[in-house]
Chain A
Amino acid sequence: MTNELRAAWAVARKELLIARRYPLQLVTEVLQPLYQFLLPSLLLGATFYVGGRAIGLEASAGTDDLAGFLFIGIIVAGVVAAAFWDMAFGLKREMDSGTLEPMWLTPTRPDTTVLGRAISGMIVNSVASIILIAAGVIFFGAALGGALLPAVPVLLLATISMVGVGYMVAAGVLMIREPNFMVDATNFVFSTLSGVAFPIVVLPLFLQPIAYALPTTYAVDLIRHYALETRPLLDPGLEWAVLVAFAVGTVAVGRWLFLRTEHRMRVRGTTGQH
């Protein structure tokens, strides 16, 4: 167990070393959410302002702090993106460079290497989130100060859940082999249905059960509730319980699914193909 953890940390350090070689890419981690999501969303919100206040958002979500609402959303979206791109899609990069099969020939378990990618992805995402929160508070007047303390355990639970989801997506990446669209689209749908951009009560009724089946829905809802005093979807105690259940359940199911897929690929001898 300790050896596997050391191996996971070694993989994470390798990934962080590679990331440091591309500083522009690291800058994009902060800038892209800002221009691709936050600024267009803030400006759209400003179009609905009445007397300088977001009265519509107050009616639908229980807060008129538009910036705070969106910045909390983007932090959770970052956790989702780390699981989908760094953890799962990273396998595709190993496939393309021809290093996946040799890596899996080492005595380290395949799921440990994926976990290492998750750790590095989450570290980069955490740094990006801290910068984004600072930008939100300083430049956009987001009232996030009170959210930081309860947000830490919520984000931790959401991150563990997303590691499980990342394992599931990684299994999909191994099977599909041309997974760019699959990862991109599912990442987008996952984030959107979690309510990172709007309260999920505005979704059509047939989509709401899917939203309630995602761990990040509860994470984003709890942080907003504590920081901005928004109306929670369920009783906060129940949301905590659901988050814990997801953290345990998704990791167990995701890891099982990933190892099963990897075993099938070994049996068929298709690990090196892409």
Chain B
Amino acid sequence: MSRHLPTRADLMADLRAFGAAGMKEWRLLRRYPSMFLGFLFWPIALPLAYVYQAQAYSGGQQAASDAFAARAGTTEVAAFLFLGWAAYMWISMILWGPGTSLRNEQVRGSLEALFMTPVSRLVILFGPVVSQVVWAIWMFAVVGGALTLFFGFRLSVLEAMRALGIILVAVPALYGLGALFAAVVLRFGEVGALVQTVRGIFTVFCGMTFPIIILPEWARGVALALPPTYLIGDLRQVLLAGADLASLIPELAVLLTLGIGLCGLAVVAFRRTERYARRGGSLAQY
């Protein structure tokens, strides 16, 4: 079989396949309406519980509230927590997303057939996550709505656009991570425990409920090596501290670099795993 460089027609075909993969996932989601309830309930209920917890920690004591403001750089406790948990839920979706999608194909018996098609492996890897971008935007919109309605949080169009910019810069890093998990699924068949562990590390180090400044030095070092730290920190900067994107360029550059590295790593890992699975004939096994 001879290899050739991808032509314009190949790229167009892959783009169409990419769109079709996203559309298929979207249709599957529509078949399970209870999931829509979840996407409305959790972005509000989970952070709200921590807002009440923060009220208990403050206890109406000005000194405690001042201590929070000094460490977090904002007095907007509710917005601080809602943004952290919104990022957590998005990351959860991404970590479960591509891997679960491949796993479902495996269980349904359609994974081997999918690999027989001539589409690029990038389509198989990243296609299903397109539909999840819609959910990510929806979730951040629910969080914005809840903050506005329940806590009187004011969000200007400019701030919303800046936040959207940060989300877009974070996309390669987070989806690269999700794709790496997909490669693990293909290799080992199950990814639940690993996802739980990584999610735990993110929750403890990346500042979902706290500013990373309160972590010990070594833990802060770990936090700064993880993409979600930058996503959460930068979102809080633009939405709660009024920072513009220009002032965040160094951090966004780190986030983008991590993204490019993770996507590259994911593609290499996926190709190797695919080769391993083809040779061992384990694509259809689960």
Residue positions of A touching B, CB distance < 8 A? 24-25, 27-28, 31-32, 34-36, 39-41, 43-50, 54-61, 178, 180-182, 184-185, 188-189, 192, 197-199, 202-203
Q: How far is the CA of A149 from the CA of B34 in the complex (A)?
A: 43
On whether the beta carbons of A48 and B200 are closer than 8 Å, the reply is no
Asked if B160 CB lies within 8 Å of chain A CBs, one says no
Are B59's CB and A35's CB within 8 A?
no
Q: Are B203 and A35 in contact (CB under 8 A)?
A: yes
Distance of A27 Cα from B197 Cα, bound (Å): 11
Question: Is there an interface contact between A56 and B193, defined as CB atoms closer than 8 Å?
Answer: no
Which residues of B176-229 have CB atoms within 8 Å of chain A's CB atoms? Answer: 192-193, 196-197, 199-201, 203-204, 208-211, 214-215
Are A39 and B59 interface neighbours, CB within 8 A? no
Given contacts A49-B64, A59-B60, 20 further A-B contacts (CB under 8 A): A25-B193, A34-B200, A43-B204, A43-B209, A46-B214, A55-B63, A56-B57, A56-B59, A56-B64, A60-B56, A60-B59, A61-B56, A188-B46, A192-B45, A192-B52, A197-B49, A197-B52, A197-B53, A198-B53, A198-B55
Check if A44 sits within 8 Å of B64, measured CB to CB: no
- A181 and B38 in contact, given A40-B208, A47-B210, A56-B58 (Cβ under 8 angstroms): yes
Is there contact, CB below 8 Å, between B71 and A47?
yes
CA distance in complex: A197, B46 (Å): 12
A45 to B49, CA, bound (A): 14
Compute how far the CA of A180 lies from the CA of B42 in the bound complex, rounded to whole angstroms: 13
Indicate if the CB atoms of A192 and B49 lie closer than 8 Å: yes
Give the contacting residue for A44; candidates B41, B53, B60; CB below 8 A. B53
Interface residues of B (CB under 8 A from A): 32, 34-35, 37-38, 41, 45-46, 49-50, 52-61, 63-65, 67-68, 71-72, 81, 192-193, 196-197, 199-201, 203-204, 208-211, 214-215
Nearest CB on B from A96, distance (A): 12
Find out whether the CB atom of B204 lies under 8 angstroms from the CB atom of A48. Answer: no
Question: Inside 8 A of A192's CB, which chain B residues have their CB?
Answer: 45, 49, 52
Q: Report whether B57 and A48 are in contact in the complex, using a CB–CB cutoff of 8 Å.
A: yes
In the complex, how many angstroms separate the beta carbon of A120 from the nearest chain B beta carbon?
Answer: 20
Contact residue among A32, A61, A184, A203 (Cβ-Cβ distance under 8 Å from B196): A32
Contact A56 B49 (CB under 8 A): no
Is A59's CB under 8 angstroms from B59's CB? yes
Assuming A181-B37, A197-B49, is B204 touching A40 (CB within 8 A)? Answer: yes
Nearest A residue to B63 via CB reads A50
Q: List 23 A-B contacts (CB under 8 A).
A: A24-B192, A31-B200, A35-B203, A35-B204, A40-B209, A44-B54, A47-B68, A50-B61, A50-B63, A50-B64, A56-B56, A56-B59, A57-B56, A59-B61, A60-B57, A60-B59, A61-B56, A180-B34, A181-B35, A182-B34, A188-B46, A192-B52, A197-B53
Contact assessment for B210 and A202 in the assembled complex, using a CB-CB cutoff below 8 Å? no
Give chain A nearest CB distance to B135 CB in angstroms: 15
Of B60, B63, B203, B215, which contacts A40 at CB under 8 A? B203
Q: Is the CB of A35 within 8 A of B200?
A: yes
Closest to A69 in B: B56
A41–B46 Cα distance when bound, in Å, is 12
Cβ contact within 8 Å between A202 and B56: yes
Inter-chain contact A203/B52, CB cutoff 8 Å: yes
In contact, B60 and A56 (Cβ under 8 angstroms):
yes
Per CB-CB distance, the 3 closest pairs between chain A and chain B, nearest first, are A56-B59, A59-B59, A35-B200
For B67, give its contact among A44, A48, A178 (CB under 8 Å).
A48
**Contact residue among B52, B61, B71, B203 (Cβ-Cβ distance under 8 Å from A56):** B61
Q: How far is the CA of A32 from the CA of B58 in the complex (A)?
A: 26
Q: Is the CB of A185 within 8 A of B45?
A: yes
Question: In the complex, A49 Cα to B214 Cα: how many Å?
Answer: 10
Q: How far is the CA of A44 from the CA of B68 in the complex (A)?
A: 9
Q: Which residue of A lies closest to B202 (CB)?
A: A35
Give Cα A266–Cα B214 distance, bound, in whole angstroms: 58
B20 → chain A closest CB, angstroms = 27
Tell me if A43 and B214 are in contact (CB < 8 A): yes
Q: Cβ of B68 and Cβ of A48 under 8 Å apart? A: yes
**Nearest Cβ on chain A to B206's Cβ, whole angstroms:** 10
Determine the chain B residues whose CB is within 8 A of the CB of A57 once the complex forms: 56-57, 59
**Could you say which residues of chain B place their CB within 8 Å of the CB of A48?**
54, 57-58, 64-65, 67-68
Residue in B closest to A201 when the chains form the complex, CB atoms: B56
Contact of B57 among A27, A34, A44 (CB under 8 A): A44
Q: CB distance A55 to B59 under 8 Å? A: yes
One of A28, A32, A185, A198 near B56 (C-beta < 8 A) = A198
Which chain A residues border B57 with CB–CB below 8 Å? 44-45, 47-48, 54, 56-57, 60, 198
Which B residue's beta carbon lies closest to that of A176?
Answer: B34
CB <8 Å contact, B210 and A44: yes
Q: Contact at B67–A185, with CB atoms within 8 Å?
A: no
Q: Which residues of B contact A44 (CB under 8 A)?
A: 50, 53-54, 57, 81, 209-210
Please determine whether B60 and A50 come into contact, CB atoms closer than 8 angstroms: no
Q: Report how far A61 CA is from B210 CA in the complex, Å.
A: 21
Nearest CB of chain B from residue A141's CB, rounded to whole Å: 16
Most-contacted residue by chain B among A27, A59, A180 (CB, 10 A): A59
